[in-house]
Amino acid sequence: MNVTLVYPNYGEGKRSKYFPFGLAYVAAAMEQAGAKVTVVDMEGDDLSLNRAVELVVESDPAIVGFGGMVTRFRIVRELGTRLRELLPDVIMMAGNSGASTLPGLYLLRCMLDAVVLGEGEATSAELVRTVNEGTDWRKVPGLAFLSGGELVYSETRKMRSDLDSLPHPAWGLFPVENYVTSMDHRQKTQPHLEVGASRGCPYSCVYCYHIYGRKVRRRSPASIVNEIVELVDRFGIEYTGFPDDLFTSDREFVLETCRLLRGRLPNIGWSCIGRVNLVDPEMLKEMRRSGCDWISFGIESGSDRMLERMKRNVSAEDCLRGIRMTREAGIHAEGSFIIGMFGETEETVRETVEFCRQADITAPMLYVTPYPGTEIFRQAVDAGLIPDVESFLEKMNAADQLLVNLTEMPDHELQRLKEWAQGQIGRSYLMRKPLTRIPGLLWKHIRLKGLKGITGDARELTSSFFRKRDSSRE
């Protein structure tokens, strides 16, 4: 039986070039269940919508599955609508965070037969077996579908407890070279590919949706390192990373992974997602010794009031300590900041600016977006701030767009505050070590945009410096 899985881009020419290993896991599980799987990777192969539709039709599928997170809803809707006309009898389904959180909308508007809820491997594999046997696929646990216009859920599927038994992602079905050689989050082009080490997170940050729930499940360190060895052998990667919900959730697990990495792959570099309250000097030292050079901490705000509101379970002081500790171990501590939470005021933004100055950190500040499946999405819908969910998803493309204003401030005031804060954070960071940081920034921009782009950037930077100095906020 033929199955075709589509990885939608989020608009032609836009690429994050981050390997979609959730879809690759699903592809591997479906292959293992006996399907002949074809992947149409719009992002990796830079395909137009027309070409993607042609390729799906040519592959003669019995099942078509769409991946991609919620930002790609528009494209899934377009693909689903067109393919439904061309392939009326095919079973069309979608998975991932968007479809899992808004199954009714996806089913109806993307012309789907089914949505695979949450963790996708076992449900997709069982779907293949059921369709092959000609039995009723609607009885497969872990699905949502429409029946007589009503949204119906099949039995809930329990998440897999043993992650080591998962087949490795089906890298070979994707244009993997395009991902391996793409620019990574550090803006480097060292050959890289990421590996999933654990699933789940026990915290409850109000802006976060965790598809894998609150119970953390981890692979064994040996299985993780075996997979990285395979990636080194097959694709020549020199860098990897663990984009799990929370890689640093267990100290012993991290230390053992580091020990094995050091022994088997002494030259590999890596990064991970961490939490400031779950690192300590000894663990960080071991991480550095085994090649870790970058930890992404979602700091989000430098204001204790905001951190509490976000249910982050850490204080600004904890964040400062975590960042300093990480730097002392020789690892880059990446922060990210969001502005515009419920309760945000000029004062709390000023606290964030001051925090960045004290931490000597710079990072883009993004507007809070209430993504489906999060606590703030429910609050925003209840407050009538998202009157039409579909048009909200359509606009969900660029993270620095103000889609919903959750504050008491008018939009223009929040926008002005963001611009001001971003300027302040950038300026205090650059001016702390101008002789190294300004040339470093210029060089980074030249690499990203070429010489042409740099003229515009330089002009913008200079004018932002002067504009901010004149500002009444100073």
Instruction: Enumerate binding residues for ligand SF4 (CB under 6 A).
Output: 201, 203-205, 208, 210, 245-246, 275, 298
The single residue among 116, 197, 310, 386 that binds ligand B12, judged by CB under 6 A, is 116
- The DSSP 8-state label assigned to residue 192 in this structure reads B
Q: Quote the strand ranges of 26-94, DSSP E.
A: 36-41, 63-66, 91-94
Member of 209, 235, 385, 446 binding ligand B12 (CB under 6 A): 209
Give the count of beta carbons closer than 10 Å to the beta carbon of residue 113: 18
Binding of ligand B12 by 28 (CB under 6 A): no
Torsion sign, CA atoms 307, 309, 313, 317: positive
Residue 242 interacts with, from ligand SF4, ligand B12, none (CB under 5-8 Å by kind): none
Q: Looking at 90-98, 128-136, 386-394, 423-431, which segment touches ligand B12 (CB under 6 A)?
A: 90-98
User: Could you say whether residue 393 binds ligand B12 (CB under 6 A)?
Assistant: no
Under the binding rule (CB under 6 A), the answer on residue 103 touching ligand B12 is no
Collapsing DSSP states into helix, strand and coil, what is residue 299? strand
Site string for ligand B12, 132-171 (x = CB under 6 A): ----------------------------------------
How would you list the strands of the sheet with 63-66, edge to edge? 36-41, 2-7, 63-66, 91-94, 114-116, 143-147, 150-153
Asked if 340 touches ligand B12 (CB under 6 A), the answer is no
Minimum CB–partner distance for residue 68 and ligand B12 (Å)? 7
Nearest CB to ligand SF4, comparing residues 59 and 101: 101
CB of 418 to ligand SF4, least distance (A): 21
CA dist 345 and 342 (Å) reads 9
Quote the CA–CA distance of 128 and 139 in Å, as a whole number: 13
Determine, following the binding rule CB under 6 A, whether residue 65 of this chain makes contact with ligand B12. Answer: yes
Q: Which does 298 bind (CB under 5 to 8 A by kind): ligand SF4, ligand B12, none?
A: ligand SF4
Least distance from ligand SF4 to the Cβ atom of residue 240, Å: 20
DSSP classification of residue 157 = P
Question: How many residues in the shown chain lie near ligand B12 by CB under 6 A?
Answer: 43
**Which amino acid, one-letter code, is at 264?**
R
CA nearest neighbour of 400 among 339, 335, 457: 339
Q: Which is nearer to ligand B12, 333 or 366 (CB)?
A: 366
The interface partner of residue 300, options being ligand SF4, ligand B12, none and the CB cut-off 5 to 8 Å by kind, is none
387 DSSP assignment: S
Of residues 191 and 372, the one with the C-beta less far from ligand SF4: 372
Is there binding between residue 174 and ligand B12 (CB under 6 A)? Answer: no
**Maximum alpha-carbon separation in the chain:** 72
399 vs 448, which CB is nearer to ligand B12? Answer: 399
* Of 97, 198, 240, 352, the one binding ligand B12 by CB under 6 A: 97
Q: Is 34 left (phi over 0), alpha (psi -120 to 50) or beta?
A: left
Interface residue with ligand B12, options 95, 103, 269, 426 (CB under 6 A): 95
State how far the Cα of 52 lies from the Cα of 55, in Å rounded to an integer. 5
Q: Does 249 bind ligand B12 (CB under 6 A)?
A: no
Contact by Cβ (8 Å): 99, 115: yes
Which of 44, 61, 120, 274 lies at the binding interface for ligand B12 (CB under 6 A)?
Answer: 120
Beta bridge partners of 144: 115, 153
**Which of the ranges 94-102, 134-142, 264-272, 355-363 carries the binding residues for ligand B12, by CB under 6 A?**
94-102
319's enclosing H/E stretch is helix 316-328
Environment class of residue 223 by beta-carbon count within 10 Å: exposed (0-12), middle (13-18) or buried (19+)?
A: middle
Of 160, 87, 170, which is closest to residue 126 (Cα–Cα)?
A: 160
Q: Which is nearer to ligand SF4, 196 or 298 (CB)?
A: 298
Residue type, 322: G
Which CB atom, from 210 or from 468, has the smaller least distance to ligand B12?
A: 210
Report d(CA 166, CA 312) in Å as an integer.
31
According to the binding rule CB under 6 A, does residue 337 interact with ligand B12? no
Chain residues binding ligand B12 by CB under 6 A are 5, 10, 16, 18, 20-23, 25-26, 65-67, 69-72, 93-98, 101, 116, 119-121, 124, 196, 208-211, 243-245, 366, 369, 371-373, 399
